[in-house]
Amino acid sequence: MNEIWSTASCSYCTKAKELMTQQGFKFEEIDALENAEAFASKFPEAKTVPQIIFNGEHVGGYNGLVEAFDNQNVFGGGASIT
């Protein structure tokens, strides 16, 4: 399952969720503040949100998601994996 660890006030979190939705991917949104201990455990090096798990891999933030989409040819009619 795709995951977006985010906060309510994060503009890049919003952009990541919109991009996933626009490209037809399902995802679970997890509030990083409400789940701070789990966030710190899962992403010990992370200092910012969003932190995104896409297709089973930690891709980092919004820019990492865009790069993962580019690498998997998701944009422009490529196959989408949900």
Q: Distance between CA 9 and CA 19 in Å, rounded? A: 17
The domain locations on the chain are: 3-71
Exposed, middle or buried, 3 (CB in 10 Å: 0-12/13-18/19+)? Answer: middle
Q: pTM to 2 decimals?
A: 0.88
pLDDT category of residue 79 using cuts at 50, 70 and 90: very low
May I ask the CATH class of domain 3-71? alpha beta
- Residues near 76 by beta carbon (within 8 Å), at least 6 away in sequence: none
Strand partners, 4: 29, 52
Q: Distance between CA 17 and CA 79 in Å, rounded? A: 19
**pLDDT for residue 37 is more than 70:** yes
Mean pLDDT of 63-72: 91
